[in-house]
Amino acid sequence: MKKTKINILDHGHVEYVEHMGSDLTVVNAARVSFNKESDWSVDEDTLADKDIKLINYLAKHQHWTPFAHPQITLRVKAPIFVRTQLFKHKVGMVENEMSRRYVTDTPEFYTPVWRNAPINGAKQGSYDFVDPALAIELDHISEGIIEKAIETYKYLLQN
């Protein structure tokens, strides 16, 4: 089946990778920590030696989450609050994510569309958006905090 990628929000996406999987699925679920991906060595039944070694290592050291991926695999790029809700409400779902221990790049930040607080018992998210002038001010404040956070992150990496 063809990979299907749907863009969401400003920088996010959900991508169907495969279903029911294979040994290669296990390998690539483990390699996501390093933002790497393997492919079949010769045909769809032959793994490269490095991938066979990885599967043996995972089994020996009881790293079980990659072995749960041969069901359905999705790649999701979303703001942390969406990721938290997705993982919070999982049933039979496991996750692996890119690790900043192994991959260094500038983090991306989600900028919300600002809403007023609900009043008089209104449901969450059902109230109007904030005044455009206030939204500009809130964006400006957020951008300043984000710039400082990135600056601090880079400083910490250097030191």
Across the chain, the runs of DSSP E, i.e. the strands, are 4-8, 12-19, 72-77
Neighbours of 22 (CB within 10 A): 15
**Structure confidence at residue 92 (pLDDT):** 66
**Structure confidence at residue 125 (pLDDT):** 61
**Structure confidence at residue 27 (pLDDT):** 95
Question: Which amino acid is residue 122, in one-letter code?
Answer: A
**Structure confidence at residue 64 (pLDDT):** 86
- The segments of the chain whose pLDDT lies below 50 read none
**Structure confidence at residue 80 (pLDDT):** 84
**Structure confidence at residue 144 (pLDDT):** 96
**Structure confidence at residue 128 (pLDDT):** 78
**Structure confidence at residue 1 (pLDDT):** 58
**Structure confidence at residue 126 (pLDDT):** 59
4 closest CA partner among 12, 13, 97: 13
**Structure confidence at residue 120 (pLDDT):** 74
**Structure confidence at residue 31 (pLDDT):** 93
In whole angstroms, how far apart are CA 79 and each of 20, 133, 144?
Answer: 27, 25, 18
Distance CA 47, CA 10 (A): 37
Task: Provide the angle, in degrees to the nearest 10, between the axes of the packed helices 23-31 and 49-60.
Answer: 80
**Structure confidence at residue 51 (pLDDT):** 94
**Structure confidence at residue 147 (pLDDT):** 94
Residue 29 structure tokens: 């679920």
